[in-house]
């Protein structure tokens, strides 16, 4: 994560309403009576941290992210909360949390069997690990990224770009790993359908997330060619509706793990 170009908070926030919906759905399912310490891992510009703080106003809520731009935006948005610039790949806490909230971040970190076990160790007994991860690598939006990467002068340079995201496990995988770590689990998947303005809006959406491993290594001219080729494939994969809008299907995996 630390070698990737910094995240663009302004571009990310262009679709804030759509990106925040999964956080709302996740935090509403967290059942804690009076948590004292909460942390939002991969907090981004603070939109998810704001939900955690509002849901549990008596708790001390922190946010953590590896992006300086995201942390700067989060601190401006929520000046009363503490935000920490840190890499999540090796994160743990000696002082346990009652809630560890991780919305759309853990898909960037490898070895989920080890990762989830490590996160549970930073939970207090009765605490909750609340996770949401995009599960869309088989969707046209992401298949098209890999196809464009393999079909151009940049193919060798981008040979490993598709490996930037960790493979998402099955329901059985996460239930098994978390049970071994001492947790009861609740798992589900939701497919959100976002009616975006046009095909370019799909490109813009993923430029701040899934496309980054593909376009960050490219010089400006090649980046423009890559994005144009990607937009052409998107136009074929997502036909426009009668009103001109385009429906982006976005499956997301949800995990609630309560430490016994």
pLDDT > 70? residue 159: yes
Question: Is residue 116 in some structural domain?
Answer: yes
- 202-258: per-residue pLDDT in tens? 999 999 899 999 999 999 999 999 999 999 999 999 999 999 999 999 999 999 999
- 119-145: per-residue pLDDT in tens? 999 999 999 999 999 999 999 999 999
- Phi then psi dihedrals of residue 127, to 5 deg: -75, 165
Number of folded domains that form the chain:
1
pLDDT of residue 10: 73
Q: Return the CATH number at 83.
A: 3.40.50.150
- The single-letter DSSP state of residue 114 is H
| C-alpha neighbours within 13 Å on the C-beta side of residue 212 | 16
Question: Is residue 3 in some structural domain?
Answer: no
What is the Cα–Cα distance from 109 to 101, expressed in whole angstroms?
15
User: In this structure, is the dihedral angle defined by the CA atoms of residues 157, 158, 163 and 165, taken in order, positive or negative?
Assistant: positive
Question: Is residue 46 in some structural domain?
Answer: yes
Question: Is residue 1 in some structural domain?
Answer: no
pLDDT of residue 12: 73
User: Which whole number is the average pLDDT over 150-176?
Assistant: 95
Question: Is residue 2 in some structural domain?
Answer: no
Question: Is residue 219 in some structural domain?
Answer: yes
Strand 97-103 relative to strand 123-134, pairing: parallel
pLDDT > 60? residue 111: yes
Question: Is residue 193 in some structural domain?
Answer: yes
Question: Is residue 134 in some structural domain?
Answer: yes
User: Which structural domain range is residue 72 located in?
Assistant: 9-259
pLDDT of residue 9: 66
């Amino acid at each position: 994560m630390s070698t990737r170009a910094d995240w663009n908070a302004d571009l990310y926030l262009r679709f804030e309403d759509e990106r925040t919906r999964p956080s709302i759905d996740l935090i509403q399912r967290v059942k804690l009576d009076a948590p004292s310490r909460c942390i939002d891992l991969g907090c981004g510009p603070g939109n998810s941290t704001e939900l955690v703080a509002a849901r549990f106003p008596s708790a001390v809520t922190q946010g953590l992210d590896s992006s300086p731009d995201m942390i700067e935006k989060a601190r401006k948005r929520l000046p009363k909360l503490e935000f920490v610039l840190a890499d999540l790949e090796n994160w743990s806490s000696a002082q346990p949390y009652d809630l560890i909230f991780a919305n759309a971040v853990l898909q960037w970190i490898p070895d989920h069997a080890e990762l989830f076990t490590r996160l549970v160790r930073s939970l207090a007994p009765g605490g909750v690990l609340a996770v949401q991860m995009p599960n869309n690598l088989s969707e046209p939006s992401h298949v098209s990224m890999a196809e464009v990467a393999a079909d151009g002068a940049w193919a060798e340079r981008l040979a490993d770009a598709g490996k930037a995201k960790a493979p998402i496990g099955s329901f059985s995988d996460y239930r098994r790993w978390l049970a071994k770590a001492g947790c009861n689990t609740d798992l589900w998947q939701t497919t959100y359908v976002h009616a975006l303005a046009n095909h370019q809006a799909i490109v813009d959406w993923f430029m701040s997330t899934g496309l980054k491993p593909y376009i960050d290594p490219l010089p400006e001219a090649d980046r423009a060619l890559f994005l144009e080729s990607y937009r052409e494939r998107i136009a074929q994969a997502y036909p426009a509706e009668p009103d001109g809008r385009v429906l982006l299907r976005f499956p997301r995996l949800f995990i609630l793990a309560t430490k016994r």
